[in-house]
Amino acid sequence: MNTTVDDWIGAADSMLRTVSGGSKARRPSPAQGMPPVALTPEAQKLSGALMRVNHVGEVCAQALYEAQALGSRTPAQRQHLREAAQDEVDHLAWTSRRLEELGSHRSWLNPLWYAGAFALGSLAARAGDRWSLGFVIETERQVEAHLAEHLSRLPAEDTASRAIVAQMKDDEARHAQAAEAAGGHVLPWPVRQAMRLAAKVMTTTAHHL
């Protein structure tokens, strides 16, 4: 592991952009060009809550990938993580913009979510690159399932949010497959269960806050 001062400066910059809402997407939003659709107040509130949860997931993804990249043993592992993180930047920007369109807000606890996820990512990195990749696999599979559940709950008429979530789901599946192909280990059952519990706490809280 050859972490430099520049790496830490880059990590700090990433953190500030993530929690402040200043992240910029590389790819256009899947909702770009879609005509605006009038939602009922109830549908708008539901979509806002679900997209806020999805935005928090992307805040956590940035923290996880950044911490794991900093703790990587090899340049190849670090590059692998940073490439996946760029897709998550797109997701972060897309969900942030959609929240604005829905008249909703980002989670007020984003700095807390970032700090907690960064700590988890650091622990995963300390276990070694193969286990760190295993953490990516399990995280992305859980997120993919969570996004599939959101697709079943988002109002049918909210085509913009649904397009964003569908693309996010495809990207998360691809990240899990790439980490598996790179040699990631399957995490022990107790670790996977603890991750599910932590995710449940986060999603339940972010739905409201």
Any domain includes 25: no
Q: d(Cα 127, Cα 105) in Å, to the nearest integer?
A: 36
Any domain includes 32: no
Decide: 161 and 98 in contact? Cβ < 8 Å.
yes
Q: d(Cα 172, Cα 175) in Å, to the nearest integer?
A: 5
Any domain includes 140: yes
Tally Cβ neighbours within 10 Å of residue 96. 20
State residue 8's pLDDT score: 67
pTM of the model: 0.88
Number of continuous H segments (helices) and E segments (strands) in the chain = 7, 0
Any domain includes 23: no
3-state secondary structure string across 64-90: HHHHHHHCCCCHHHHHHHHHHHHHHHH
State residue 53's pLDDT score: 93
Give the residue from 143, 176, 182, 166 showing the smallest Cα distance to 59: 143
Number of compact structural domains in the chain: 1
Any domain includes 164: yes
CATH at residue 189: 1.20.1260.10
Decide: 56 and 202 in contact? Cβ < 8 Å.
yes
Any domain includes 27: no
Any domain includes 51: yes
pLDDT (tens digit, 0 to 9) for every residue of the chain, 209 residues total? 566 666 667 667 777 777 777 778 889 999 998 888 889 999 999 999 999 999 998 898 888 888 888 877 778 778 778 777 788 889 999 999 999 999 999 998 888 888 888 888 888 888 888 888 888 888 888 889 889 999 999 999 999 999 999 999 999 898 888 888 877 788 888 888 887 888 888 888 888 77
Any domain includes 17: no
| Domain enclosing residue 174, as ranges | 5-12+46-206
